């Protein structure tokens, strides 16, 4: 059984201008991702398989694999392209929320990462109204399938690190 996904560390470093904060997040137990880790091609049961679709390559859109041949292509709507339903398997990758909280516990900067796949992440959050010398808290929250599995909080003083 693989190790559970978990935050190993959250390192906080304010920049010299005291308006930005660098956060380095280390996560372990992530499923393998990328070349050699199995297929990264998803197929949703309600979407036609490429072999079932008439395709026309387009020299102007190299990032699109399949175009649907249709006389009505100019009038296509969202209903013409079904979205994945509830039968889609849940992602094994966690969502991550990185936040900075002020002394009162109010969230003053935040970012949200969907299906985080990297063991190490460096991110910069900007503070709109920084208070040099004040104590803040950096928070990282790991969520899998809408359930919070871990929260790490690191208090820090907003001062230039030596």
* DSSP 3-state of 132: coil
At residue 157, does pLDDT exceed 60?
yes
Q: Provide the pLDDT for residue 154.
A: 98
* DSSP 3-state of 145: coil
pLDDT (tens digit per residue) in 44-65: 445 555 555 555 554 444 444 4
Q: Provide the pLDDT for residue 89.
A: 79
Contacts of 99 (CB under 8 A, 6+ apart): 107, 109, 110, 111, 125, 138, 139, 140, 141
Mean pLDDT over residues 104-123, rounded? 94
Q: Look at the block and give the residue holding tokens 């990328």.
A: 34
DSSP state of 77: -
DSSP state of 94: P
Residue-range domain boundaries for the chain: 6-33+90-157
Pairing of strands 20-28, 6-14: antiparallel
* DSSP 3-state of 56: coil
Q: DSSP string of 60-79?
A: T-TT-------TTGGG--GG
| Cα→Cα distances 102→14, 24, 49, 129, Å | 14, 19, 50, 10
Look at residues 97, 89, 90, 138 and name the one whose alpha carbon lies nearest to residue 114. Answer: 97
6-33+90-157, CATH topology level: Immunoglobulin-like (2.60.40)
Pairing of strands 147-157, 120-126: unpaired
**Confidence band for 77, pLDDT divided at 50, 70 and 90:** low
In 42-51, which positions are buried (b, 16+ CB within 10 angstroms) versus exposed (e)? Answer: eeeeeeeeee
The larger pLDDT score, comparing residue 160 to residue 83, is at 160
Would you say 55 and 158 are in contact if contact means Cβ atoms under 8 Å apart?
A: no
């Amino acid at each position: 059984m693989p190790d559970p996904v978990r935050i190993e560390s959250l390192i906080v470093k304010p920049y010299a201008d005291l308006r930005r904060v660098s956060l380095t997040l280390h996560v372990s137990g992530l499923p393998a991702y990328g070349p050699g880790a199995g297929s990264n091609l998803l197929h949703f049961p309600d979407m036609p398989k490429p072999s079932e679709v008439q395709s026309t390559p387009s020299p102007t859109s190299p990032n699109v694999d399949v175009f649907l041949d249709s006389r009505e292509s100019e009038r296509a709507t969202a209903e013409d392209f079904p979205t994945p339903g509830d039968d889609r398997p849940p992602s094994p990758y966690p969502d991550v929320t990185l936040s900075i909280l002020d002394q009162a516990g109010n969230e003053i900067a935040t970012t949200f990462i969907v299906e985080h796949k990297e063991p190490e992440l460096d991110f910069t959050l900007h503070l709109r109204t920084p208070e040099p010398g004040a104590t803040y808290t950096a928070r990282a929250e790991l969520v899998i399938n809408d359930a919070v599995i871990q929260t790490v909080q690191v208090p820090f003083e907003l001062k230039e690190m030596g």
